[in-house]
């Protein structure tokens, strides 16, 4: 039962974390995607990426993200991203697929039961004879984005368990507040957060939201050094809305944190965190 903020955060993390091993589903559905696409395309490379691999996925919102590297000259040269998406989607026409507003880099293969599969087509880019990076399509702006998801995944997997859980908490907050921010954006904000995270989530939530505000206030260069920006998808209106929301959350979380150290019960603090994080944050006296 959640009578203290510490117990509330412990239960909250349980409520938003997957509780079963999805390795079999990942393997089976990845193999299905390979089988379907290899009938039509010359696949150079295929590998998983995303929140499931970095231990920051959320229960009920888990997806399998797969990067499918296609032969550039055969399928990508002189094509716009939307053209490539249409070709890949047509190949999967026997299955339920969609391109969602929240994921503009992937074709989602829908199953009757989660996890679904996000198929991200990509091409290799060489610097001379050496591999440099991958180009990922973005259909909202119809451009190719320079990226290296393997390095991103590796960097995220170096987080200690508390920092991974903190990222989950922030993603749940985003989910309950219009989902303005992409998962990749939140990941990169976390990668730039240099504080050593421990089990005192009430304090780190305060500090992280302040760090988020500072990072979103200005353009955020992609740490891959390839010249792109992590937050290119944010227009001016959305950026202002996010900053306003974060500013309100900073006030709420600091008030909740300060209240913990009074002689009163933690009821008011827990109610404040419920307001911030939504229904999966346990109410006072409940699990």
- Distance of alpha carbon 31 from the chain centroid: 23
User: In Å, what is the CA distance from 3 to each residue of 10, 221, 269?
Assistant: 12, 42, 10
User: In Å, what is the CA distance from 157 to each residue of 58, 133, 162?
Assistant: 16, 20, 12
pTM to 2 decimal places: 0.92
68 forms beta bridges with: 46, 121
Condensed to tens digits (0 to 9), the pLDDT of residues 161-185 reads: 999 999 999 999 999 998 999 999 9
Quote the percentage of the chain above a pLDDT of 70: 98
Q: Which residue ranges form the domains of the chain, and what is each CATH number?
A: 5-17+155-277 (1.10.1410), 23-148 (3.30.460.90)
Condensed to tens digits (0 to 9), the pLDDT of residues 129-168 reads: 999 999 998 877 778 888 899 999 999 999 999 999 999 9
How far apart (Å, rounded) are the C-alpha atoms in residues 69 and 49?
Answer: 13
Q: What is the DSSP letter of 265?
A: -
User: In Å, what is the CA distance from 49 to each residue of 66, 153, 259?
Assistant: 6, 6, 40
Q: How many angstroms separate the first and last alpha carbons of the chain? A: 5
How far apart (Å, rounded) are the C-alpha atoms in residues 46 and 106?
Answer: 14
How many CB atoms sit inside 10 A of residue 76's CB?
21
Mean pLDDT of 240-263: 95
């Amino acid at each position: 039962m959640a009578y203290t903020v510490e117990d509330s955060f412990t239960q909250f993390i349980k409520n938003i974390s997957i509780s079963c091993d999805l390795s079999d589903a990942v393997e089976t559905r990845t193999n299905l995607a390979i089988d379907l696409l290899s009938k039509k395309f010359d696949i150079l490379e295929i590998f998983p990426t995303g929140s499931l691999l970095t231990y920051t996925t959320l229960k009920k919102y888990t997806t399998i993200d797969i990067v499918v590297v296609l032969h550039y000259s055969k399928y990508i040269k002189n094509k716009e991203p939307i053209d490539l998406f249409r070709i890949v989607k047509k190949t999967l026409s026997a299955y339920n697929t969609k391109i969602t507003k929240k994921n503009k880099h992937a074709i989602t293969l829908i199953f009757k039961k989660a996890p679904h599969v996000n198929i991200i087509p990509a091409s290799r880019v060489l610097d001379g004879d050496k591999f440099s990076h991958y180009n990922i399509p973005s259909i909202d702006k119809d451009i190719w984005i320079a990226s290296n998801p393997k390095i991103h995944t590796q960097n995220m997997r170096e987080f200690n368990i508390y920092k991974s859980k903190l990222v989950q908490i922030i993603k749940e907050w985003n989910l309950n507040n219009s989902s303005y921010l992409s998962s990749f954006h939140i990941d990169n904000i976390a990668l730039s957060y240099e504080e050593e995270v421990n089990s005192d989530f009430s304090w780190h939530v305060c500090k992280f939201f302040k760090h988020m505000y500072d990072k979103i206030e200005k353009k955020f260069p992609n740490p891959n050094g390839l010249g792109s920006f992590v937050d290119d998808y944010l227009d001016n209106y959305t950026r202002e809305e996010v900053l306003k929301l974060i500013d309100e959350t900073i006030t709420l979380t600091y008030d909740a944190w300060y209240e913990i150290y009074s002689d009163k019960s933690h009821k008011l603090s827990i109610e404040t965190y419920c307001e911030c994080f939504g229904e999966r944050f346990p109410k006072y006296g409940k699990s």
